[in-house]
A and B are shown apart, each in its own frame.
Chain A
């Protein structure tokens, strides 16, 4: 079975631009989460979506937004890019059969490496 897939693998943007990152969860998984991993740090939670609804948001500015589609895939959008947005963006999916729970295992994709110049 395919794992979590993310596209693109790498991306280079300049300050002020907009970026869209994409994620396809494991087949059958209904919950998708996004994390930002700055070099040398642990991942930080950005969003979680379940059944197309936002279930949680981390401490990120409104320049960050996301959505989940009927097929459970997801997009993360970042507007007005700053140098500090350079990071590895990780998508994780979990079954969320009834609703997401704290004990759900989150399965991570390989990430999208975003560089802002």
Chain B
């Protein structure tokens, strides 16, 4: 079955440190991949998406992610964490044959220490 896994329900970093949030998918067909952020009591905001163009995708707020087919991964990174980055992050996938639905991972809560 097609699925997406986010390793680590909580990640804690110091302000200014590297942020790395992990996402792996399982599928025999390369998917389209998305990262969303959710701030408390808000909906989801798209950070970036991969749709089979460049494997390194740059998004908003300094985030980027790299699609690695051999590792079936799409990890999210940011060189320097800011306090405002504290939120819940969701990796999501869709496939050409689904044409509509996103399948989400269980989320990773990012905590940023001053």
Contacts and interface: CB of A to CB of B under 8 A. Distances in A.
Interface of A: 4, 31, 33, 35, 40-45, 48, 50, 55-56, 58, 90, 92, 99-103, 105-111
B45 A108 contact: yes
B98 A44 contact: no
Interface residues of B, number: 25
Given A90-B43, A90-B44, A108-B44, A55 B99 contact: yes
Contacts of B96: 102
B42 A110 contact: yes
Given A55-B99, A56-B98, A56-B101, A103 B43 contact: no
A40 B36 CA distance: 15
Nearest to B109: A40
B61 interface: no
